[in-house]
A and B are shown apart, each in its own frame.
Chain A
Amino acid sequence: MKNKRQRTDKSVRIFFFSVALASIAILFMIMIFLFMEGIPIFKKISIYDFIFGKYWYPTSSPPDFGIFPLILASIAVTLVSAAISIPLGVMTAIYLAELAHKRIAELIKPVVELLAALPSVVIGFFGMVIVAPFLQETFGIPTGLNLFNAALMLSFMSVPTICSISEDAIYSVPVALKEGSLALGATHWETLIRVIIPASISGISTAIILGMSRAIGETMVVLMVAGGAAMIPESLFDPVRPMPASIAAEMAEAPFRGDHYYALFATGIVLFLFTMLFNVIADHVVHKYRQTGEASL
């Protein structure tokens, strides 16, 4: 026989379960509303022409809604920023987990956290007023607001992500592995590169994927420092217009439920799918190649 207490307990459990579904519900709502407001553009233009169209002139008449330059800009900015942030983030993580004195590590970890907490608009502002003029003068280029500047500023955002997740992964490698390698006469560096990093590679990969996902979705930085030209970039110093920048800059002017408005939502769908892909891959890596002590080596 169930008493009142047990019945309460059961209903509390059901309550918590339904609240826990909120995240999934929100995620679904985001998808539904993005698609609802984005799909109508495909009555005007085919999906192929939208994604691979080379011209983005949403306000000229007739307008061109090809987001290929925007997609390419997003990818280029993310890759260049990854080239900066992966070495920096992973190396810092190794330093923190393996080399640093405990006291120093406890000082640097909050620094990385604070770096992650810097509002993106401040980083964008910094890129505009300091880095842009500096680049312009140093390299003698027409504008300092370009692909390279944006990638550099994006690294600010992705290094902390890469660093903290990698550090956890490196830290959780069993000590026995390290000791075994050292006992065989390997130096600390050889132990790192041959034993510790291979043992934590799934965690490090996850970190890198999530860091890149953060970079591709970051808005304010690319809005303020990428230069804003919707062209296919040819050099590191070309101004570009990544997808988030385009959405943020144009939404205010796009006539409500006009083609431009729909096209921006459709761009949002593409962006959303990109980050979703990154996250699903990261999740897959975590679960498939999970470290289970020494056994996985």
Chain B
Amino acid sequence: MIEEKSMLERSFERVHRRRKHLQRFIFMLFRTAALVNGAALIVVVAFITINGWKAITWDFLTQAPLQSMTKGGILPCIVGTLCLGIGAIVVALPIGVASAIYLNEYARPGRLLRLIRLGISNLAGVPSVVFGLFGLAFFVIWLKMGVSIIAGVLTLAALTLPVIIGSTEEALKSVPNTYREASLALGATRWQTIYRVVLPAALPGILTGAILGLSRAAGETAPIMFTAAVFYTPNLPASPFDKIMALPYHVYVLATAGTNIEATRPLQYGTSLVLIALVLGMNLAAIVWRARLRKKMK
């Protein structure tokens, strides 16, 4: 005898099936959202690579721009961007690491710590163009540095400082407390513990953060527009008070204000390609390195 399912059971089943269907549909949406992110990255990178590939030649990478920037290469821009990025890190790294050491190793929870943290998060949120205005008003005009590498470096350093602080703090946090306790138990002072035990253990993580900060500084345009970069300068930088060309600014100028925007398209793609290769390459290196570190820590 076949037992009939009760009405109640059947309606339960129906509801259950509907719930399952709804879930499957919504989860598919979530999956699509994640795919859109991947697709966006691939589309932008692929598009720049395909169009920019043809422009990349030895001359393009090793020559200065010629004929009012419609021909020639981008060597001054590459050199300029490296100068700015490395300079910014050289300034921001010691300050950032020291700040993070205070926050993670010395500070006790309280109103002061909260205030410092609020300051850092606000600094991280300041729009890049406002950093540009600040650099112009403070470094270029008030300190009379003029439009120069040094003014650009200091402006970019202010901008990368929160990045460095954040990643250094993460690196310090990942050092197990037992390390500190063991060192203190042996009679070392707090500073000796930090200097001899905590910092060496956190060093790889700190350097990863430095690479991320460097790539951030190298990719920024707005902060250097008024402080360091110029349309064109025939010479490679010789002193910190020189004006320079930079990759991001070069892309912007060629794409919007060049003498012949259509004719320089290949140069625009080529410059963009060099820029994203530089920036994404550094990021990828940092990501891979960090993944290895995390594995090792476990």
Contacts and interface: CB of A to CB of B under 8 A. Distances in A.
B272 A122 contact: yes
Given A20-B103, A91-B33, A99-B31, 6 more contacts: A16-B98, A29-B138, A99-B27, A120-B219, A217-B129, A275-B127
Contacts of B175: none
26 contacts: A16-B98, A17-B106, A20-B102, A23-B120, A27-B123, A30-B134, A95-B30, A115-B37, A117-B283, A121-B252, A122-B276, A125-B48, A125-B272, A126-B48, A129-B265, A129-B268, A189-B27, A217-B130, A219-B222, A220-B221, A220-B248, A223-B222, A247-B133, A251-B225, A251-B226, A280-B118
Contacts of A283: 118, 121
A210 B125 contact: yes
A121 B248 contact: yes
A140 to B, nearest CB: 23
A219 B279 contact: no
A63 interface: no
Contacts of A100: 34
A151 interface: no
Contacts of A112: 37
A137 interface: no
Contact of B255 (A6, A118, A128): A128
Interface of A: 5-6, 8-9, 12-13, 15-17, 19-24, 26-27, 29-30, 33-34, 36-37, 87-88, 91-92, 94-96, 99-100, 106, 108, 110-115, 117-126, 128-130, 156, 159, 163, 187-190, 210, 213-214, 216-220, 223-224, 244, 247-248, 251-252, 264-265, 268, 271-272, 275-276, 278-280, 282-283, 287
Given A114-B284, A121-B251, A247 B27 contact: no
Interface string B93-118: 00100110111011100000011101
A23 B161 contact: yes
A115 B40 contact: yes
B41 A224 contact: no
Q: Chain B: interface residue count, which band?
A: 35 or more
Contacts of B255: 124-125, 128-129, 224
B230 to A, nearest CB: 10
A261 B30 CA distance: 47
B226 A88 contact: no
A247 B125 contact: no
A9 to B, nearest CB: 4
Contacts of A271: 127, 129-130
B129 to A, nearest CB: 4
A260 B297 CA distance: 55
Interface stretch (B16-24, B53-61, B62-70, B199-207): B16-24
Contacts of A125: 48, 251-252, 255, 268, 272
Interface of B: 19-20, 22-23, 26-27, 29-31, 33-34, 36-38, 40-41, 44, 47-48, 95, 98-99, 101-103, 105-107, 114-116, 118-123, 125-134, 136-138, 142, 158, 161-162, 165, 189-191, 212, 215-216, 218-222, 225-226, 248-249, 251-252, 255-256, 265, 268, 272, 275-276, 279-280, 283-284, 287, 291
B115 A24 contact: yes
B206 to A, nearest CB: 15
| Chain B facing A: main interface SS | helix
Contacts of A121: 219, 221, 248-249, 251-252, 272, 275
A24 B130 CA distance: 16
A69 B24 CA distance: 45
Contacts of A265: 133, 137
A23 to B, nearest CB: 5
Contacts of A210: 125
Given A13-B106, A189-B22, A248-B222, A124 B252 contact: yes
Given A22-B161, A119-B248, A219-B221, A247 B37 contact: no
A188 B27 CA distance: 10
A281 to B, nearest CB: 11
A252 B44 contact: no
Given A122-B44, A189-B27, A252 B19 contact: no
**Which 9 A-B residue pairs are closest in the complex by CB-CB distance?**
A217-B127, A119-B219, A91-B33, A24-B119, A20-B102, A189-B23, A16-B102, A19-B98, A219-B222
Contact of B119 (A27, A115, A282): A27
Contact of B23 (A187, A251, A287): A187
Contact of B276 (A118, A248, A279): A118
Nearest to B48: A122
Given A16-B98, A20-B99, A23-B161, A117 B126 contact: no
Residue among B33, B38, B165, B190 having the largest count of chain A Cβ atoms under 10 Å? B33
B221 A114 contact: no
Contact of A12 (B27, B127, B191): B191
